[in-house]
Amino acid sequence: MMRIFVVGATGRVASELVKDLVAKGHQVTAVARHPENVSLKDSPQVTAVKLDLHASKEELVELIGQQDAIYFTAGSRGKDLLQTDAFGAVKTMQVAELNGIKRYIMLSSLHALEPEFWHENGLAQIMDYNIAKFFADHYLVHNTDLDYTILQPTALTEEPGTGKITVGATKVSKNPIPDVALTLAEILEHDNTRKKVIMMSSGDTPIAQALANV
């Protein structure tokens, strides 16, 4: 059992992630602006907490406390890219280091670290989001000593999960949301994913096997 801190826990992916982490036996602190909407908030394994990423770093130090891992899954859907998607993420990384938390898992976007791809069809429409994720991902890789994993899925869909993915995806395709969530949850069980950026799409390889081969 691990103590897991999920930032942005009411999002589409994070709602499924919380369920997957609970199913794996973890204790989850699920934080969001509207904690009343957290999945499984009445479970003894889930603590729902209000979080505003506009808060100061000092406030976040106390709120995050001692954890075994942090997931950053928050997204403003274009409404607050600088303070939520970019600097909100950076503050949680800084707090992780201040609080001695080494494991940090970031939900990002396909090619977020590669601006040369942003004009392609399927990515041009989310240019501003990818710019925000670029700065957050870049800070995580180059300005922290965290044991990070950055998961970069392609377009999210509401389809049922298949339990199978492809890693190393380079083209815009699709990812059922349940598969992205389960991949995030499984990353914790694969130490070989530390210090890695993983691009993913739907595929034919079971998630655990795909991650074992990263």
Q: Annotated catalytic residue: which of 71, 129, 139, 148?
A: 129
What is the per-residue pLDDT for 120? Answer: 86
d(CA 137, CA 201): 19
pLDDT above 70 covers a percentage of the chain that reads 100
Is 129 a known active-site residue?
yes
Q: What is the pLDDT of residues 4-17, one digit of tens each?
A: 999 999 999 999 99
Q: What is the pLDDT of residues 148-181, one digit of tens each?
A: 999 999 989 999 999 999 998 778 888 999 999 9
Any alpha helices (H) in the chain, and if so which ranges?
Answer: 12-23, 57-64, 87-98, 127-142, 177-187, 207-212
